[in-house]
Amino acid sequence: MLQLSFIRENREITIAGLQKRRFANAEQVVGQIISLDQQRRDTQKELDDVLARSNAKAKEIGALMKAGNKAEADAAKAETAELKSRSKELEDALKSIEQQVQDVLVTIPNLPHSSVPEGRSAEDNEVVYQHGEIPSLPESAQSHWDLIKKYDIIDFELGNKITGAGFPVYKGKGARIQRALINFFLDEALNAGFLEIQPPIVINKDSGFGTGQLPDKEGQMYYITEDDLYLIPTAEVPITNLYRDIILPDSELPVKNVGYTPCFRREAGSWGAHVRGLNRLHQFDKVEIVQIRKPEESYQALEEMSQYVQSLLQKLELPYRVLRLCGGDMGFTSALTYDMEVFSAAQQRWLEVSSVSNFESYQANRLKLRYKAEGGKTQLLHTLNGSALALPRILAAILENNQTPDGIRIPSVLVPYCGFELIS
């Protein structure tokens, strides 16, 4: 959530940033929040004045009663009653205005970093780096949804029988390579200095609000009505919320956490060839990295996280590219996002497998996540997260890119984890 003081002091910068994100009615919304803030400040000032007068009158009544001036004391009491009534009206008005301010603030996305390119959609994202050769497959090459049937390693029909579409069953070597990828990603993260966390996979509303899923993405999460809880869309949510309402000492920074969880997304409105097979699921596995950094360190940390994710893709021998997302394609809470896409040779298309984002202080403001800076002053921290990595599309690319006449070759780095070199 943007800080109200920033919006008030940087009206034009806020409007320009929101317009870069293609946020509708940016000028109107910013004008509304500034107007409400002025009402809040004026009401607070009047309330403070009324309370001060009421306190002064209370002291005056005591002095008058002590001096035996009952008539004057009674008149002062009547005035005090009026002041108390007015203070109650002002307190109620202040609560109403503060709620209106909050209701508008939560609809305003984060402002984009200066390096974010202009653009409306994914077509306008900027390719900043590409690595590896695009595999050349024979005409007989198959897509991963055909390969998984051929080798009987993932069963969508069984998943549909048990739950519904988008909940596949992994079996045999399919299950083993899933476990191999999870363990590989976790081991790499531990070697890079991340602390492993195993968080809950259901969250409450406060957690959803803290990282920005609520109220923005409420319809995309699975909701447990009886318990007022949500299934997590990513491990970012519970891990980052570990630090909600916390003032971290300088000695505990930076925070570097990693966690594996299943993830659940309704993906409402998704259809077409781009969601076929493993391309988009309602339940999938993902290893997530989260960092909490001082503001002056966060963009260097973002570049390091990008390089780290790229190192995983290189070890998996997958061709990939790095995109800097444009203003119109960024997530609600992000200030800058890099997407990593692997090339799926059989589908002849790029598949997003990771997003690495810096949220600056946007999440921290919602979370009330701070640290004590020099001089003892508390300051908001910056939060970052990234997929390292999401499994379904990684597996799709491995299956498609490594198919041979003898079977599907397993990347050498995974062989010690899964115990076989070929799916045949």
Tens-digit pLDDT profile for residues 69-100: 777 777 878 888 889 999 999 999 999 999 99
Sequential DSSP letters for 82-117:
HHHHHHHHHHHHHHHHHHHHHHHHTTSPPPPPTTPP
Q: How is residue 377 written in tokens? A: 């002053």
| pLDDT tens per residue, range 134-156 | 999 998 999 999 999 999 999 99
Q: Mean pLDDT over residues 371-396, rounded?
A: 94
Q: Give me the domains of the chain, ranges plus CATH numbers.
A: 4-105 (1.10.287.40), 122-423 (3.30.930.10)
Q: What is the DSSP letter of 201?
A: S
Q: Which helix (H) or strand (E) holds 287?
A: strand 283-293
Residue 64 has pLDDT above 90, yes or no: no
Please tell me the predicted confidence (pLDDT) of residue 274. 63
What does the pLDDT read at residue 268?
57
Tokens of 367: 């979370």
Among 286, 304, 396, smallest CA distance to 346 is for 396
Q: What is the mean pLDDT of residues 62-75?
A: 77
Q: What is the pLDDT of residues 266-321, one digit of tens each?
A: 975 455 556 789 999 999 999 999 999 999 999 999 999 999 999 999 999 999 99
DSSP-derived secondary structure letter, 381: -
